[in-house]
A and B are shown apart, each in its own frame.
Chain A
Amino acid sequence: EDKVVQSPLSLVVHEGDTVTLNCSYEVTNFRSLLWYKQEKKAPTFLFMLTSSGIEKKSGRLSSILDKKELSSILNITATQTGDSAIYLCAPDTGRRALTFGSGTRLQVQP
């Protein structure tokens, strides 16, 4: 059975802080790992990671995969209130559908 664990479950920071969100997985036939941001309704795609050690970056967000440790981190620098959301990760095994972690709820206070 596929297992995905995200930590922390919840995080409250102040604007300008840097945060690191963690995602660890135990799956068979791993192919890639995806990160999503969910603000109110539909999750929106952030990153897809397939290779270890190669950082993907979009503005203040960046993510990296460690296949040896079966984990990924999502970094957000200089956080803003608009970063407040649930961040979800999901490994892709190609077998059926994405199995999501429970998410990290990030709250950025002014």
Chain B
Amino acid sequence: DGGITQSPKYLFRKEGQNVTLSCEQNLNHDAMYWYRQDPGQGLRLIYYSQIVNDFQKGDIAEGYSVSREKKESFPLTVTSAQKNPTAFYLCASSNRPSGNTGELFFGEGSRLTVL
């Protein structure tokens, strides 16, 4: 079945460590996105990529890094520079119909807890 796979589902990190969250899609979508969700809040955009080998900062990119070397993959690294990384991370993709963002298809999310 086509979809988006995020891993791991749960992750614990010690302060000072970098961690990488995986996001893979087999929908053949050009665009991919990373959002952060804190308890009781909406989704905030971290990074997005509209095409392979290109990505842009979102609203809260500080302390995060991404790469887009393959169309199917958009991993997110949470670096030690991110001061408050405990959150729920959602990856999404879209096929950007007619230049619009269009419907986003979401993965099941990764919950990161810093110990």
Task: State the A residues within 8 Å of B (CB).
Answer: 6, 31-32, 34, 36, 41-45, 48, 88, 92-94, 96-103, 105
Contact = CB atoms under 8 A, between A and B. Distances in A.
* Max chain A C-beta neighbours (<10 A), residue from B50, B58, B104: B104
A84 B61 CA distance: 31
Contacts of A32: 100
B43 A42 contact: no
Interface in B27-43: 31, 33, 35, 40-43
Interface string B44-58: 110010100000101
Interface in B94-115: 99-109
B78 interface: no
Contacts of B58: 96-97
Nearest to B46: A97
A45 B99 CA distance: 19
Nearest to A98: B101
**Which of A48, A88, A98, A105 has the most chain B CB atoms closer than 10 A to its own CB?**
A98
24 contacts: A6-B42, A34-B104, A42-B107, A42-B108, A42-B109, A45-B104, A45-B105, A92-B100, A92-B102, A94-B100, A96-B58, A96-B101, A97-B45, A97-B48, A97-B58, A98-B45, A98-B101, A99-B45, A100-B35, A100-B42, A102-B41, A102-B42, A103-B41, A103-B42
A93 B101 CA distance: 7
Interchain residue pairs A-B with the least CB separation, the first 10: A42-B106, A102-B42, A100-B43, A100-B42, A94-B100, A97-B48, A103-B42, A41-B109, A41-B108, A92-B101
A92 to B, nearest CB: 5
